[in-house]
Structure 1
């Protein structure tokens, strides 16, 4: 078992907290040559049983704005941007800090990896697209608070393709890369609290 950080956007954090996101797909780098679906290439660093501590955008107190993230005391008041009480409250907090700079101790979510699969991106099933956090929103599919147009997404896979393009750029869905699909359970606690259990 290994502890590793993993970065998520605010909509994905909210989907994890809502219990609708139990999978994540990540592009395998470098792309493997000559493998078949289901084969696990050597460059995958995450395995079943690993604990992933979630990094997300966050705020510390305004008085800590000039303090480097690694120097912020572990007893500092932290607010996670994905679930900040209101935009007015964000204004009272210190500057928005990207998730990539979140210290381990400030994480509030730990993901326990229960399955690892390797597949082509476009091979995602409807069930797996829903496990990625996609839900039915009115007549279409998307995220509850999507910041991308889901007006033509008539399936969960269509919506996931739109989400993928939003995150990874134009043409990224069509490229159909090999991806690692990680299934996980969620613990609503920091990695250090999870490790102490």
Structure 2
């Protein structure tokens, strides 16, 4: 693997190129560096190279490594990109700046109560089970309007939709569908695209791409 600064520069260049092809040059695309399973020693070089938005899959793992990193580096923005258990809602609200995996009514209630207790509103993406896969989390497409209405009624700041397309299938139709669902529901954010397909996602409207292995290499 090349050094972290070079890898980051390459990904940023590819993001910029995809935006130009899609004629989105004036729109922001946030690169979320997914640091799950990687130790602080692997994360810090990317921070020093200029990356300040990171994603973690598990609350407990993030609690173990990010407080110390945030003491050493200001301006870090931390996103939860994995499934969230309702009993971890208070911890998630305290630690994360954005949650990408709101997907069920029970979690709406848990997060609303946690945000009220913390007096802090954390932006959320509703995760959509875009491929209707039984083994994956996410709200069913048919249930999305009701879930959004409930989240808005609970004063959760829902800023967009998130998806993980089925593995091994061309992702473009799924990204296009998420883009349409977001537009139909008046949402600006689209969290979609990972290391193998983020350029396709950007050309189909992604505002946040979640890139791990292309930045960090194999999982730690």
Greater relative CO (CA pairs within 8 A, separation 6+): 1
TM-score by length of 1: 0.27
Give the number of the structure whose residues are more often strand, by fraction. 1
Give the number of the structure whose residues are more often helix, by fraction. 2
Question: Larger Cα Rg: Structure 1 or Structure 2?
Answer: 1
